[in-house]
Structure 1
Amino acid sequence: MRVYLPATLSGVQRLLGDGAWMPLGGTGFALTPALREAYTAGDDEELAEVALREAARASLRLLGTEAGELPVRRVVVVAERDDAVPRPDLDDAVVKVSGPVTVDQVVAVHVDGADAQDAVAAAVAVVDAADLGDEDAELVVGDAEDHDLAWYATQEMPFLLDLL
């Protein structure tokens, strides 16, 4: 199953340095049967995009727990995992993986560009309020989500952090 795992740039550093990285709580997002049922229209590619967007929003929450020298960018690690178990009790696209993600399981990495950094930093500060229904906060998060994530192939991963 293709799984979209919320991450940060420091998580990508760990993945590249150690050859493995453990997503927080093993939580990811995927095109699950529950997600497919929740939408009356849309092909698999469109529904996978929904899972990717959910992972990108979860990345905002992870960024709120980090302070460091790396730029503030949403990151989604895309991996193939046979052990992904749907968690419809949490949300339609949520899955749980057991154990770390290894470099050989990674299909791609999606990362915000430099132009999104200010919007992402603002969204990090208010994402929890947005989740609780604050309309102004939701607009701020929406500004960050208006930025498309850049796609990096696995062979580009070693150069990803240098490009920032």
Structure 2
Amino acid sequence: MRIYIPGTWPMLRKLVKTGRFDPIGGTAFALTPRLREAYVSGDDEELEYAAMNEAARASLRLLAVEFGLGEDQVPARRVVVAADLEDVTLRPDLDDGAVRISGAVPMTAIAAVHVDTEEAEHAVREAASVVDKADLGDLDAEFLVGEAEDHELAWYSPEEIAFLVDLGEL
């Protein structure tokens, strides 16, 4: 099953060092039956894109925590790791596309990494500061989160991850 795991820049940095991606709490997103039911129409590709967007929103929440801990030097870029895993448990208690995975994801299971470009950093930083308010229905916060979500995530192959991290550290 293709899953989408929310992450942050420090998590990518650790992936490069260790060869495995450690998801926070084992949370990931996928095209689940419940996600499919939530949409009136859409093919698998469109619905997987919706699952990836849920992971990107979760990445904003992770960034909010890092910034709240004073990690202001962390690049304000949403990170989503796409991987293919078989051992996935549905999480109907969370979002429609939420799943749980156990343990770290080896580099060999990673299909791609999706990351914001530098142009998105201001919008992402603003959105991370209000994502919880947006989740609770604050319209101004929803607008700021929407501004960040208007930026498309760039796609990188697994072979490009180390180069991407090095480039981002400059």
Q: Write the mapping of 1:85-124 to structure 2, written as runs, cut at 5 A.
A: 85-124=89-128
Higher deviation after alignment, 17-26 or 135-144:
17-26
- For 2:20, the equivalent position in structure 1 comes to 20
Residue 6 of structure 2 corresponds to residue 2 of structure 1: no
Question: Which amino acid is 2:48 matched to?
Answer: A
- Unaligned stretches of 5+ residues in structure 2: none
Percent identity over the alignment is 56
**Match for residue 33 of structure 1?**
33
Counterparts of 1:69 and 1:118 in 2: how far apart (Å)? Answer: 13
- Is structure 2 residue 58 aligned with structure 1 residue 54? no
Q: State the Cα distance separating 1:70 from its structure 2 match.
A: 3.3
Report the TM-score, using the length of structure 2 for normalisation.
0.94
Residue 122 of structure 1: how far off its partner (Å): 0.2
Give SS of 2:3's match: strand
Distance apart, 1:98 and its partner CA: 0.5
Match of 2:142 among 129, 138, 152: 138
Unmatched 5+ residue regions in structure 1? none
Structure 1 residue identity aligned to 2:140: D
Cα root mean square deviation, aligned: 0.9
- Number of aligned positions between the proteins: 164
Question: d(CA) in 1 for partners of 2:34 and 2:73?
Answer: 39
Structure 1 stretches of 4+ with a deviation exceeding 4 A read: none
Instruction: Tell me the TM-score normalised to structure 1 length.
Output: 0.97
- Equivalent position to 1:159, from 141, 147, 163: 163
